[in-house]
Amino acid sequence: MRNPLSSIREIHDSFDAGSSDPLALTESFFERIKASRHNAYITLCEDRALRQAEELRASLKTKFQGKVPRASHPLYGIPLGIKDVLTMDGIRTTCASNMLQDYIPPFTATAVERLEVAGAISLGKLNMDEFAMGSSNENSAFGPVLHPTHPDRVPGGSSGGSGTAVAADLCVAALGTDTGGSIRLPASFCGVVGLKPTYGRISRYGQIAFASSLDQIGPMTRTVHDAAVLTRVMAGIDPCDSTTSDRPVEDWGAVVDHAKSDSGTLKGLRVGIPSEYFIDGIDAEVRIAIERAIEFLKSEGATVVPVSLPHTEYAVSTYYVIAVSEASSNLSRFDGVRFGMRPDAAMKASTLTDFYKHVRSLFGAEVKRRIMLGTFALSSGYFDAYYRKAAQVRRLMREDFERAFQSVDVLVSPVSPTTAFKLGEKAKNPLQMYLTDIFTIPASLAGIPAMSIPVGRDQLGLSIGMHLIAPRFEESTLLRVASRLEGKSS
């Protein structure tokens, strides 16, 4: 039998010891998934996964003498969950939308392909907010995902299926995507590690676009080391994505190992506390947990420096203008002509406009709202006042960070002002929902890496995540700090 909630390293040790193997492990996950009521998965790729697992089990004996080839295949036999916004050749990919309820893509996302080449097994496609638009995972055409431990609460969104699956042991690790906090918020709510790398680190090829200049794939895992390993496998230039960076990929697993073993690693680290992130309205228990974590960092030798990010109050406005504008454009391709669903009524439409309207009635309410907002912000006469203006404020926000990072190495804050809220609590008020992302949005706008690491629980037992933000391409700083925080401060 397998140990619940094992890390990649523990699983590899069990393979080496012969106490488990890729096939047995994969089968056990499918049993758990089928028994679970979290609604975390939209589609299972059981046959495919079992085939992969069987081959990996066989090769482990025949090719690798029973020892996991960790260097060449860092994810050998590791069962993963894939957010349903990422395409997989031949596997239904819905983006949690009726628009794509039967869509089977003809190619695999670069990130997923790289994981599978490294030995990972894809268990299935994880539930999410439709087109990744949401903060609670209540906007799925396949129904809401339940919080891993508190079924009356939301797991956070939009990668809610990923957060719940990792926390509820329905996979070893998962892929999420983050446009304004969609990895970090559910990681915080579900009590797992979530990393949004620098924009451009991981190819977006095969990620169904929400907001192209903000979208970024990242891991959601149970340990910091697992996040490091997944990120390393996925990162790096991709000829299919013009926005990937040619920055060299680092061995982040080794960075984590080193930080874990060196208690002096944070000595001299300058930790910035942005005053704008410690506002009224933060839940007292959240505040206490974060403050305790900051004390812990100090005890490890870090110095704490107050900083200011003066444009933070404009973050949500800036983000919503940019994200919805890009979304309105990205979602124009859903017209029921070359792929996707086409309601019967569409073929009887008397005009082309009617045809499109029939097809596009398959979008959910939140998606429609954002498309309309975006269309408005880009339309003639409003472009300068909205889109262009927001892009300018975005630059100012990025400059805020650059200024702050002249005096600090990492910024810390809560991921969210509250812990996981109740299903339906904010569903009626879009603006309140948007404000949930207030702390995660600025890093998305600046394109810089950020992370959520569990640092405690409230009285209800709901997880509290600490938010770490670093300069561009400084994922290693995030991982070092997270390694020290992991399991120590709660």
Q: Please report how close the Cβ of residue 325 comes to another protein at its closest, in angstroms.
A: 7
**Cβ contact 84:128 at 8 Å:** yes
Asked if residue 328 has a cis previous peptide bond (ω within 30° of 0), the answer is no
**Looking at the chain, how many residues does it have?**
490
Residue 472 phi/psi, 5° resolution?
-45, 130
- Is 83 a catalytic site residue? yes
Closest by Cα among 477, 458, 76 to 297: 477
Encoded one letter per residue, x for contact with another protein by CB under 8 A and - for no contact, window 434-473 reads x----------x-x--------------------------
* C-alpha to C-alpha distance for 346 and 324, rounded to whole angstroms: 26
Is 158 a catalytic site residue? yes
Q: Which is nearer to another protein, 6 or 245 (CB)?
A: 245
Residues numbered 251 to 270 that lie near another protein (CB under 8 A) are: none
Distance in angstroms (rounded) separating the CA atoms of residues 181 and 162: 13
Bridge partners of residue 217, in order along the sequence: 177
Q: Are 471 and 401 in contact (CB under 8 A)?
A: yes
Minimum Å gap between C-beta 402 and another protein is: 12
Instruction: Name the residue among 205, 208, 215 with its Cα closest to residue 323.
Output: 215
Rama region for 138: left / alpha / beta (φ>0; ψ in -120 to 50; rest): alpha
Give me the least distance between CB of 134 and another protein, in Å please: 14
241 counts as binding another protein under rule CB under 8 A: yes
CB-nearer residue toward another protein: 207 or 416: 207
Shortest Cβ distance from residue 378 to another protein (Å)?
4
**Using rule CB under 8 A, residue 58 touches another protein:** no
Binders of another protein in range 378-417 (CB under 8 A): 378-380, 382-383, 385-396, 398
Least Å from the CB of residue 109 to another protein: 6
- Tell whether residue 321 is a contact of another protein (CB under 8 A): yes
101 contacts another protein (rule: CB under 8 A):
no
φ, ψ of residue 128 in degrees (nearest 5):
-170, 175
Residues 136-195 that bind another protein (CB under 8 A): none
Our CB check for another protein shows the closer of 57 and 201 to be 201
Structure tokens at 203: 């190819």
- Cα end-to-end distance, the chain, whole Å: 29
Closer CB to another protein, 279 or 347, in the complex: 347
Residue tagged active-site, from 7, 20, 83, 136: 83
DSSP characters over 414-447: ESSSSS--BTTSSTT-HHHHHHTTTTTHHHHHHT
Residue range at the interface with another protein (CB under 8 A); choices 13-21, 154-162, 376-384, 479-487: 376-384
Beta strands 410-414; 463-469: pairing state: antiparallel
Catalytic residue among 97, 122, 182, 413: 182
Least distance to another protein, CB of residue 274, Å: 18
Per-residue interface string for the shown chain with another protein, residues 195-234, x marking contact by CB under 8 A: ----xx---xxxxxx-xxxx-x------------------
Q: Is 452 a catalytic residue?
A: no
What are the residue numbers of the active site? 83, 158, 182
